[in-house]
Copies of this chain bind each other. A is one copy, B any other.
Amino acid sequence: MIDVNESIAALDWSKEPQGLYAPIAYALSSGGKRLRMQLVLAGCRLVGGNEQDALPFAEAIEVFHNFTLLHDDVMDRADVRRGMPTVHVKWNDNTAILSGDQMLIEAYHLLEGVSANHLPELLKLFTRTATEICEGQQYDVDFEQRDDVQIADYIEMIRLKTSVLLAAALQGGAIIGGATAAQQEALYNYGIHLGLAFQIQDDLLDCFGDPQTFGKAIGGDISCNKKTYLLLSALNNADAGQRAELSRWLAQTAPSAEKISAVKELYMATRAREAAEQAIAEHTRQALDCLNLLPDNDERKQLEQLAQKLAQRKS
């Protein structure tokens, strides 16, 4: 069984110029779950493939994901990632831009390791997915300035920004493992629903999570008026009085515990919290449905457990 953290740690960034490569080593050193890499290998094994064959694609997906985090952190002016200073803080913006660019190129370099017969298909899948993620990021930025965002728009944004990479990870692994088109599609769609449930759960935890287990401050999304599933549902469901109250709080841009507490109350009164919980349950159910189209083996059971675990996670 491949140890994903060991595989990433074995990539060699000791080459020159270190000004370019040291930030890449740093960005990849902080770990995380390596979920996307795990999904590539799981997709390959589930359809009976040898996970070693899927390793280059898995590494490419993981390096790509960390590239997006690096550039997102510059754009969001985020100072900390997984408890460590971000690259643009530890070095500077220009380093984060250039080393990030090189990480994206390194992801494509890793793709060279896939077998020639799968290369055209995997290259297309990878590039289409990368494009969708940039589009999702742009929609996320656009939504900050728009006041007509609907829940369907939000779902499409998080599908692009979060889900397609999980889906492509699974499908890519499945392609390498020799999956049928139907199996590939089932795994891809499982990944889409897994990602949607994951992201809506993230919105819920940011608002209703336990600060002890969640690991970051609660209410950040409320403070910055982020158009989450909760806020969009609340705006949808609110009666005239609730809408006026919500609007008053949205107009108050200074962070305050009072605002967080009042908006949380409104999320409950408008049943937005319930709507989010239902959406998570629904996408988890759809993810599990997709798995029914696949061979009933241990790998499938693990993906079932993953979907159930993510829907119940507290951090």
Contacts and interface: CB of A to CB of B under 8 A. Distances in A.
Interface string A283-299: 00000000000000000
B131 A105 contact: yes
Interface in A252-305: none
- Per DSSP, chain A at the interface is helix
Contact of A108 (B71, B100, B102, B127): B127
A135 B17 contact: yes
A138 B17 contact: yes
Nearest to A131: B105
A109 interface: yes
Interface stretch (A33-41, A115-123, A176-184, A231-239): A115-123
Contact of A127 (B75, B109, B139, B142): B109
A137 interface: yes
Given A112-B120, A135-B20, A138-B19, A127 B105 contact: yes
A71 B134 contact: no
Nearest to A96: B97
Contact of A97 (B97, B105, B109, B130): B97
Given A102-B134, A104-B104, A119-B120, A94 B141 contact: yes
A112 B127 contact: yes
A124 interface: yes
Contact of A137 (B98, B111, B123): B98
Contacts of A120: 112, 116, 119
Contacts of A100: 101
Contact of A94 (B20, B75, B109, B127): B75
Contacts of A109: 127-128, 131
Q: Which 6 A-B pairs have the closest CB atoms?
A: A20-B138, A75-B94, A102-B134, A17-B138, A105-B130, A19-B138
